[in-house]
């Protein structure tokens, strides 16, 4: 047992937080087997939808002008606009600089083509290894949708489960949020469902989910919901949750993840970048947790206004695991605020962060920025304990970080080591 002295405390916490391997429990990344679905490299990074919304603010052209450009032209224009004509001080722009630096590029040269050429020498497999090593990530949970035909064929060919670093999460947005489209997709896949809610439709939708959970080895079911999601309610979503999602999750013994508070396509001209956040009703989660005490719920919300109440709710229900600082909350100031009050209300019994990466190298900045904040918050708390005469050991610091960055997730799944 190594007692850490006051002088070393901060440094030790920071060092351990920066080097602890991480399970990234929600991303939009894919294993290399998924081919074109796995986005990586300079042009994908620069055309990340976070940077699209930031850059278009400076443009006076029609929105369609941006979309008419090739990906490379878009990337060049975003680089010029957000990095050269203005300084990259936002989270997403400074994140790109963090990535370049950690990849070993000379950011002072500001020569995009040099960076492009360097990466062009690498294969996707090499880059995945390098990035996971730099970012210290050893397990990545993808977002998987059987209604996506490209993805579906990878699963059907048996290649989806080849890379043991990647895990699946089965996305059920269409079933909950666009039932007419879901009916169409299910019918095309050979499931005997109708628009009308019947015993047969319920059974077939359950069969679809169960078969795909098994095929993907899915760790959990996941959905993103608008802020006006209500539960219980006399609507399609409540029926689908009560009669399909919950029974299937229970049968397969997996959690249900709800990401609540998105308002899609507030500005449709921006595509993926046009989604907005929206305040939600925490009592929907409360009702789910109370009604299904044996069902586990992984929950994150998008509005800052909901965070404290949701954290308090987690004190009331052990079947509720809060996770991550989602999307617009994934900025330094708010990650710090949220991490602090989560620790103050829940100790280390939560999942402080997920990356939500869409482009592989983003793992580098999203985790580096978050790890620093987690370290700072924890160091403050340990330091306070130290003044009271309670000395944390290095093993205990490691244990706490491992809980927050790995074990809380795996134990919640019932797959703890
Ligand atoms: O999983 C989701 O619903 C969201 O995280 C995404 O829709 C979103 O576009 C993502 O890039 C946010 O970080
Ligand atoms: Zn996401």
Share of the chain above pLDDT 90, in %: 98
Task: Tell me if 272 CB under 6 Å of ligand 1.
Answer: yes
Q: Which ligand is nearest to the CA of 223?
A: 1
Give yes or no for residue 358 CB within 6 A of ligand 1: yes
CA of 170 to the centre of ligand 2 (A): 12
Cα 325 from chain centroid (whole Å): 9
- Look at ligand 1, atom 12, and give the residue with the nearest C-alpha: 327
Instruction: Assign 3-class secondary structure to the chain.
Output: CCECCHHHHHHHHHHHHHHCCEEECCCCCCCHHHHHHCECCHHHHHCCHHHHHHHHCCCCCCHHHHHHCCHHHHHHHHHHHHHHCCCCCCHHHHHHHHHHHHCCCCHHHCCHHHHHHHHHCCCHHHHHHHHHHHHCEEEEECCECCCCHHHHHHHHCCCCCCCCCEECCEECHHHHHCHHHHHHHHHHCCCCCCCCCCHHHHHHHHHHHHHHHHHHCCCCEEEEECCCCCCCCCCHHHHHHHHHHHHHHHHHCCCEEEEECEECCCCHHHHHHHCEECCCCHHHHHHHHHHCCCCCEEEEECCHHHHHHHHHHHHHCCCEEEECCCHHHCCHHHHHHHHHHHHHHHCCCCECCCCCCCECCHHHHHHHHHHHHHHHHHHHHHHHHHHCCCCCEHHHHHHHHHHHHHHHHHHHCCCCC
The reply to whether ligand 1 has any atom less than 6 angstroms from the CB of 51 is: no
277 C-alpha to ligand 2 centroid (Å)? 13
Query: Does ipTM come in above 0.90?
Result: yes
> From the CB of 15, is ligand 1 less than 6 Å away?
no
pLDDT-based confidence at 212, cuts 50/70/90? Answer: very high
Q: Which atom of ligand 1 is nearest to the CA of 330?
A: 13
Residue nearest to atom 9 of ligand 1 (CA): 272
Ligand 1 pocket residue status of 224, Cβ below 6 Å: yes
Task: Indicate the pLDDT class of residue 6, thresholds 50, 70 and 90.
Answer: confident
The model's pLDDT over 253-306, given as tens digits with 9 standing for 90+, comes to 999 999 999 999 999 999 999 999 999 999 999 999 999 999 999 999 999 999
- Choosing from 47, 224, 277 the residue with most ligand 1 atoms within 8 A of its CB, the one to mutate for a pocket test is 224
How far is ligand 1, taken at its centre, from the CA of residue 362, in Å? 14
Ligand 1 binding pocket includes 359 (Cβ within 6 Å): no
Does any ligand 1 atom lie closer than 6 A to the CB of residue 328?
no
Domains detected in the chain = 6-412 (3.20.20.140)
Q: What is the pLDDT of residue 5?
A: 83
Mean pLDDT of 329-341: 98
**Ligand 2 mean position, distance from CA 26 (Å):** 6
Confidence of residue 7 (pLDDT cuts 50, 70, 90): confident
Ligand 1 site-directed mutation target among 28, 298, 299, 365, most atoms within 8 Å of CB = 28
Q: Which atom of ligand 1 is nearest to the CA of 143?
A: 1
pLDDT of 3 reads: 79
Q: Measured between alpha carbons, how far is 187 from 200 in angstroms, rounded to an integer?
A: 13
């Amino acid at each position: 047992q190594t007692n850490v002295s006051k002088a070393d405390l901060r440094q030790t916490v920071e060092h351990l937080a920066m080097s602890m391997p991480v399970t990234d429990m929600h991303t939009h990344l894919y294993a290399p087997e998924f081919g074109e679905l796995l986005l990586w490299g300079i042009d994908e990074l620069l055309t990340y939808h976070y940077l699209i919304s930031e850059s278009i603010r400076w443009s006076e052209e029609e929105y369609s002008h941006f979309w008419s450009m090739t990906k490379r032209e878009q990337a060049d224009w975003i680089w010029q606009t957000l990095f050269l004509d203005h300084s990259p001080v936002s989270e997403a722009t400074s994140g790109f600089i963090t990535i370049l630096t950690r990849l070993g590029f000379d950011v002072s040269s500001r020569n995009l083509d040099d960076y492009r050429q360097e990466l062009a020498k690498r294969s996707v497999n090499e880059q995945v290894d390098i990035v996971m090593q730099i970012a210290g990530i050893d397990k990545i949970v993808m977002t998987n949708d059987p209604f996506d035909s490209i993805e579906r064929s990878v699963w059907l060919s048996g290649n989806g489960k080849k890379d043991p670093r990647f895990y699946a999460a089965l996305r059920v947005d269409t079933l909950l949020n666009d039932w007419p489209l879901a009916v169409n997709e299910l019918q095309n896949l050979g499931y005997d469902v109708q628009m009308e809610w019947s015993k047969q439709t319920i059974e077939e939708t359950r069969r679809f989910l169960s078969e795909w959970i098994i095929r993907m080895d899915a760790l959990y079911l996941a959905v993103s919901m608008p802020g006006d999601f209500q539960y219980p309610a006399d609507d399609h979503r409540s029926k689908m949750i009560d009669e399909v999602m919950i029974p299937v999750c229970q049968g397969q013994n997996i959690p249900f993840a709800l990401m609540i508070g998105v308002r899609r396509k507030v500005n449709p001209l921006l595509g993926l970048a046009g989604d907005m956040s929206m305040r939600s009703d925490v009592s929907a989660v409360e009702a789910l947790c109370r009604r299904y005490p044996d069902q586990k719920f992984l929950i994150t919300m998008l509005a800052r206004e909901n965070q404290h109440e949701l954290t308090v709710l987690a004190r009331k229900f052990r079947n509720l695991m809060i996770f991550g600082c989602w999307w617009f909350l994934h900025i330094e100031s708010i990650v710090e605020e949220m991490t602090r009050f989560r620790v103050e209300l829940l100790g280390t019994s939560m999942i402080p962060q997920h990356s939500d990466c869409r482009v592989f190298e983003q793992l580098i900045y999203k985790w580096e920025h978050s790890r620093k904040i987690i370290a700072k918050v924890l160091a403050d708390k340990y330091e306070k304990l130290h003044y009271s005469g309670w000395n944390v050991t290095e093993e205990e610091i490691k244990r706490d970080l491992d809980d927050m960055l790995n074990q809380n997730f795996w134990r919640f799944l019932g797959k703890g080591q």
